[in-house]
Structure 1
Amino acid sequence: MSEFDFDLFVIGAGSGGVRAARLAANLGLKVGVAEEDRPGGTCVLRGCVPKKFMVFASEVPEQIDAARGFGWDVSLGKFDWHHFKAKQDAELTRLSGIYGSNLARAGAEVIAAHAAFKDEHTLVLTSQGSTREVTAKTILVATGGWPFLPQHCPGVLEHALTSNDMFKLEKLPSRMVIVGGGYIAVEFAGVMKGLGVDVTLMYRGEKILRGFDTEVRDHLNAEMKLRGIHIMTGVDPVKLHKEGDIVTLHLNDGTTFDTDAVLYASGRKPKTEGLGLDAIGITPDMHGAIPVDQYSRTSHPHIYAIGDVTNRLNLTPVAIREAVAFVETAFKNNPTAYDYENVPTAVFSQPQIGTVGLSEDEATAKGIKVDIYSTKFRMMKAAFNGFESRIFMKLVVDAASDVVLGAHIVGGDAGEVIQLAGIAVKARLTKAQWDATCAVHPTAAEEIVTIKDKRP
């Protein structure tokens, strides 16, 4: 009989934690999982999935406009937020149930409780005021991240929403200010505008989407404005106050701005509070993340951490791959480190962004001489209907080897296209090999293998 209650105990039942627990349980190990909310984590309950449903709903007005252009006698009608919210909540409950049942089917014990370290092998589980202690030979922390509000700005804690709150709104506001310039900010700006809200995006930087290719940032900025989203850069709220139903933002330039609701999408941080890390001598880094090595191992050989709580590459598919690597390392005697190079990703802004590999700025910073191929055009549907929206595509190519180092797309279905482009970039195919690939016509995606315009 083992001296421990569990061979593996996982803290957090998000995408990464669930994958690790299932794989370990399938090996015949005794696995426990603590989750203080419902199984599913940020992606299923407060992120990717409900956000994508909202994106779908918000794209309908543009689709109706296109339908009219194609000769359909249709009207937009009125959006019913309560109907949508009820269906979305039901779907999230269904998906969460699948996560829980999959864990149970694999043989893992799911415990609805908050877990905190008592010592290196002991966890205290708290649920509805009662506590229980369990021991585990190996422990995995997969608690994810959490949105934060800047406490230095008076009134923010009282009057601002976080991304978590957006899925629980009782009603849609007439006007909304979104503070931030990252992917969450631009995604919700498109969603709210599509659902009929007057949206103003405020960002303290010079350009939205810091870290993305400069031309991608500029193109999305122009496209968002084309859709009627107001974008204010170089401004930052210094105070919020509310009178009646009106929230007033006092800005750093001395002006004020009135609105009905304020969303702060200014960042997320690893969810480490309350884990009792001090009890085991683990100190989060300056960003609040749990330090780990390339194998997701902490300073204790039997304690690991994966996903957003480590603040490496905060994407759901990455957390899942880290979970697989963890199981290989911890239980199969096959030390495996996940490769973070050339990971494709999408931003579900309107229009979408799909990107993989190096931006032009990153390549230049690395001292790589690059050739830049780019194109900008209207999709057939847009041209037919007289829409001004344009797709932007860009390839960053190593001038010496002809290897495509990065691919960047802004436009409809960019998230779908970049998945396959990601294979080519990951495989380090050359521009000549891209060019040798036959186009699928007529599609927008064909342009990515027919780009001939090289910047002088």
Structure 2
Amino acid sequence: MTRVVIVGGGPGGYEAALVGSQLGGQVTLIDTDGLGGSAVLTDCVPSKTLIATAEVMTEVRESLELGVRFGTRGLEGREAANVDATVSVDLAAVNARVLGLARRQSEDICERIQRENVELVIGRGRLESPDRVVAETADGPRALEADMVLIATGAAPRQLATARPDGERILTWTQLYDLKELPERLIVVGSGVTGAEFASAYDALGCDVVLISSRDRVLPGEDADAAQVLEDVFTRRGMTVMSRSRAASVTRHGDSVEVTLADGRLVTGSHCLMAVGSVPNTADMGLAEAGVAVDEGGFITVDRVSRTSARGVYAAGDCTGVLPLASVAAMQGRIAMWHMLGDAVGPLDLMTVSSNVFTSPEIATVGVTQNQVDSGEVIARSVTLPLRGNPRAKMQGSRDGFVKLFCRSVTGIVIGGVVVAPRASELIYPVAMAVSERLTVDQVSQSFTVYPSMTGSIAEAARRLHGSRSIIS
């Protein structure tokens, strides 16, 4: 029986453990912070639970347009329409639910792991060699001999020397869930996915939000058209977006914080969220001694089947820096197990990975990007359909967003797409299926969609690509 030792219990680790046990391996999983890792305990599950509450707040506020009235008994017509919807949020109750759900999800994973005969060791693992792992446990060090090793230790919020989090007023995204009251004014430093998501959520919860971006727009790594829609929505809803503004330092003054920008400007608020990226949890793990190569940022170097430079040692998840998504971490972990235990396996294909930004509206993408097409790296035709033309969107009062499809110029094979809409994370799936299965626009357009539905825009975009030119409508 192959002895497999996994270090780290996040998606990359626990999903790999389940596959390893299924394939007959003797699997030991070393974890220190709780199964599920940051994805379950401090990142994906908690943040998206908070965002679910924010979505409800947004829907309630915007329901006035649909004829819904609050506190208007006895009022009629225009008088009723002018009454404000006074809806507030109990942040302490929201965060209690957030943390409770994350804890229960972690417990569910732990139960599943144990049912599948995976040995769980609570402690911090480090490599003594490619075939020997030592776990530092409460009862002392425990040495584990291994035929194969998987490292899945994840990443942690990056901290700046000039903006040290104190857990009260200057916060990382892992510390937000300790708040009992809504910040009076929240300054978010960083306009990547994490910064944009929390800025969007706290704005919807009723907080005055300032979003500081060092780049010329929010979400610099996303589709430019999609980012522009989101920035327009942020501004329309009253958020302050400061582009081309680099934060030099953050200091606390009692119950307030002060952000000093590189050009000398000052921004004050009650709280500051630092969302300036992540660093891999790879320090002091014996990687160099075991022959595991890392890049200059500390991320473990892996190939498309998750192998590191050390024979018999694999790595998965955020510690590899491949793509910081829970879905990618889980797939890297599964691929590692399939490969190390001799099962059928296909290399990781990032062009089929769907990703989503959980803002309001959401931004979902898969496959090739607009930048790749504009630069000539990929030759493709495209179509962009604004959401305001979709009948279901009109019924729901949704006007911000679009559907964009890319296809091969000659064959019409779908190679990418962008959806900006409410629940874009669900709408991207048919596009992802088309990309992964190499469907043509004709095949997509000939599939029935429900009328009226948001997915109707995907089929319509495919129909419009039955031709020879790119279309923007």
Fold in common (TM above 0.5): yes
Q: Map 1:338-357 to 2 at 5 A.
A: 338-357=348-367
Q: Map 1:287-302 to 2 at 5 A.
A: 287-302=297-312
**Residue of 319, 330, 334 corresponding to 2:329:** 319
Indicate the residue corresponding to 1:41 in structure 2.
37
Deviations 1:128-182 (A, max 9, x none): 473222222211101112111233xx24445632111122324321111111121
Matched, 1:70 2:67: yes
Indicate the residue corresponding to 2:107 in structure 1.
97
Give the CA deviation at 1:198.
0.6
Task: Structure 1 unaligned segments of length 5 or more: list them.
Answer: none
Indicate the residue corresponding to 1:236 in structure 2.
246
Describe the shift of the 1:284–1:160 C-alpha distance in structure 2 as closer, same or farther (beyond 3 A): farther
Matched, 1:225 2:222: no
Give the CA deviation at 1:124.
2.3
Describe the shift of the 1:187–1:25 C-alpha distance in structure 2 as closer, same or farther (beyond 3 A): same
Give the CA deviation at 1:76.
4.2
Moved more, 230-239 or 211-220: 211-220
Q: Output the CA distance in 2 between the equivalents of 1:101 and 1:129.
A: 23
Indicate the residue corresponding to 2:13 in structure 1.
17
Matched, 1:423 2:420: no
Describe the shift of the 1:359–1:29 C-alpha distance in structure 2 as closer, same or farther (beyond 3 A): closer
What amino acid is aligned across from residue 49 of structure 1 in structure 2?
Answer: V
Given that residues 294 and 337 in structure 1 are in contact (C-alpha distance below 8 angstroms), is that contact kept between their aligned partners in structure 2? yes
| % identical equivalent positions | 27
Give the CA deviation at 1:335.
5.4
Indicate the residue corresponding to 1:55 in structure 2.
51
Give the CA deviation at 1:395.
1.6
Given that residues 364 and 370 in structure 1 are in contact (C-alpha distance below 8 angstroms), is that contact kept between their aligned partners in structure 2? no
Q: Output the CA distance in 1 between the equivalents of 2:441 and 2:344.
A: 36
What amino acid is aligned across from residue 220 of structure 1 in structure 2?
Answer: L
Describe the shift of the 1:337–1:89 C-alpha distance in structure 2 as closer, same or farther (beyond 3 A): same
Indicate the residue corresponding to 2:412 in structure 1.
402
Give the root-mean-square deviation of aligned CA atoms.
2.3
SS in 2 for 1:231: strand
**Residue of 273, 276, 279 corresponding to 1:263:** 273
Q: Output the CA distance in 2 between the equivalents of 1:230 and 1:394.
A: 28
SS in 2 for 1:286: coil
Q: Output the CA distance in 2 between the equivalents of 1:302 and 1:367.
A: 36
Moved more, 120-129 or 310-319: 120-129
**How many correspondences in the alignment?**
449
Given that residues 326 and 336 in structure 1 are in contact (C-alpha distance below 8 angstroms), is that contact kept between their aligned partners in structure 2? no
Give the CA deviation at 1:20.
1.1
Deviations 1:87-139 (A, max 9, x none): 22222221111111111111111111011122332222223473222222211
Q: Output the CA distance in 1 between the equivalents of 2:415 and 2:305.
A: 26
Task: Structure 2 unaligned segments of length 5 or more: list them.
Answer: 72-84, 465-469
Given that residues 115 and 126 in structure 1 are in contact (C-alpha distance below 8 angstroms), is that contact kept between their aligned partners in structure 2? yes
What amino acid is aligned across from residue 312 of structure 1 in structure 2?
Answer: V
Indicate the residue corresponding to 1:412 in structure 2.
422
Q: Output the CA distance in 1 between the equivalents of 2:324 and 2:387.
A: 32
Describe the shift of the 1:354–1:279 C-alpha distance in structure 2 as closer, same or farther (beyond 3 A): same
Describe the shift of the 1:35–1:218 C-alpha distance in structure 2 as closer, same or farther (beyond 3 A): same
Q: Map 1:16-415 to 2 at 5 A.
A: 16-68=12-64, 69-73=66-70, 76-128=86-138, 130-151=140-161, 154-158=162-166, 160-332=170-342, 334=344, 336-378=346-388, 383=394, 389-415=399-425
Indicate the residue corresponding to 2:82 in structure 1.
none
Give the CA deviation at 1:67.
4.2
What amino acid is aligned across from residue 89 of structure 1 in structure 2?
Answer: L
SS in 1 for 2:134: strand
Q: Output the CA distance in 2 between the equivalents of 1:145 and 1:33.
A: 18
Indicate the residue corresponding to 2:467 in structure 1.
none
Give the CA deviation at 1:444.
2.3
Moved more, 334-343 or 199-208: 334-343
Give the CA deviation at 1:210.
2.0
Deviations 1:227-285 (A, max 9, x none): 22211110011122221111111111221110111111111122112312132132420
Given that residues 390 and 411 in structure 1 are in contact (C-alpha distance below 8 angstroms), is that contact kept between their aligned partners in structure 2? yes
Moved more, 230-239 or 357-366: 357-366
Q: Output the CA distance in 2 between the equivalents of 1:319 and 1:84.
A: 28
Give the CA deviation at 1:81.
1.4
Q: Output the CA distance in 2 between the equivalents of 1:381 and 1:333.
A: 45
Describe the shift of the 1:338–1:273 C-alpha distance in structure 2 as closer, same or farther (beyond 3 A): same
What TM-score, normalized by structure 1, do the two folds share? 0.92
Q: Output the CA distance in 2 between the equivalents of 1:157 and 1:13.
A: 25
Describe the shift of the 1:364–1:401 C-alpha distance in structure 2 as closer, same or farther (beyond 3 A): farther
Give the CA deviation at 1:425.
1.9
Indicate the residue corresponding to 2:76 in structure 1.
none
Describe the shift of the 1:380–1:446 C-alpha distance in structure 2 as closer, same or farther (beyond 3 A): closer
